[in-house]
Amino acid sequence: MKNIVVIGSSGAIGKAFVESYIKDTDVENIFSFSRSDLPIKDSKLHSFFIDIEDEQSIANAASKIDKSSIDEIIVASGILHNEDFGPEKSIRDLNADNLMKVLKVNTVGPAIIGKYFIPLLNKKDKSILTFLSARVGSISDNKTGGWYAYRSSKTALNQIIKNFSIELRRTNPNAIIFGLQPGTVDSNLSEPFKRNVKEGNLFTPDYSVSMLKKIINEASPCNSGSLIAWDGEEIKP
């Protein structure tokens, strides 16, 4: 029976992961972490607060898991825009505070999550740690520019994922760590840009999660350190 952690469970994709894992008969416990209350109740679900911009909050969140061996950790938190700013279209739009906000949520937070949650991974059998990343974090795939903060934060996250995977080859060889690109999902994050998405390319959270779980279930050590799209394609750095 599996023990699962979902961080960022109040977002569209995180919530869909929780709902999907609740239905899985081989899952015993789901540890859900978010800033907002999750409107889901189930005997296998254990919900806790986390602020991924605060290291002490992350440490406290990890301490809520009582020495359980965790089989899968999904980090589904992230920011592209908020009520104060959107993705930059040009150099003129660069703002230091906005850059720092995006990097703190998309890069620093996941790195510190790794610091405190990686020691909880199962060391006897296969375990998974995966972070939601983005195709726009690929330097080789960048043909249009713009989105300075978001692109940079995901590029840096992909490097952190790679570093985690290298270190865990020595300390926990059964652990597989990689990034997932969920496609364009109908969510608050994509709301301002949905009209530009081609027909058939805007996914429901449930569909995206169903595809991502296939990748998670089939993951092997050769995937560690990579970024994998929702359809199984490995995205080049």
What does the DSSP assignment read for 85-145? ----SSGGG--HHHHHHHHIIIIIHHHHHHHHHGGGB-SSS-EEEEEE--GGG-STT--S-
Q: Is residue 234 part of a domain?
A: no
Closest by Cα among 192, 174, 163, 70 to 120: 70
Residue 224 lies in a domain: yes
- Whether residue 206 has pLDDT greater than 80: yes
pLDDT, residue 190, reads: 64
Mean pLDDT of 96-120: 97
Q: Tell me how far apart the alpha carbons of residues 61 and 113 are, in angstroms, rounded to a whole number.
A: 9
Q: Is the residue at 94 inside a domain?
A: yes
Q: How many domains does the chain have?
A: 1
Residue 220: predicted pLDDT: 95
Answer whether residue 66 is part of any domain. yes
Dihedrals φ, ψ of 4, to 5°? -120, 140
Task: Please determine, for residue 202, whether its predicted confidence score (pLDDT) is greater than 70.
Answer: yes
For residue 109, give Cα distances in angstroms to 10, 80, 103, 237: 16, 14, 8, 21
> Do the domain assignments include residue 10?
yes
pLDDT of residue 155: 97
pTM: 0.94
* Residue closest to 146 by CA, chosen among 93, 182, 102, 183: 93
Phi, psi for 212 (deg, rounded to 5): -65, -35
pLDDT of res. 191: 65
**How sure is the predictor about 201, in pLDDT bands with cuts at 50, 70 and 90?**
confident
Average predicted confidence (pLDDT) for the chain: 94
Averaged pLDDT for residues 192-200: 69
Question: The CATH number of the domain where 132 resides is what?
Answer: 3.40.50.720
Chain segment 60-103, per-residue pLDDT in tens: 999 999 767 999 999 999 999 998 999 999 999 999 999 999 99
Q: What percent of the chain has pLDDT over 90?
A: 88
| Structure confidence at residue 193 (pLDDT) | 67
Which residue segment(s) compose the domain that 217 sits in?
A: 2-229
Task: Let me know if residue 176 belongs to a domain.
Answer: yes
What is the pLDDT confidence band of residue 194, given thresholds at 50, 70 and 90?
low
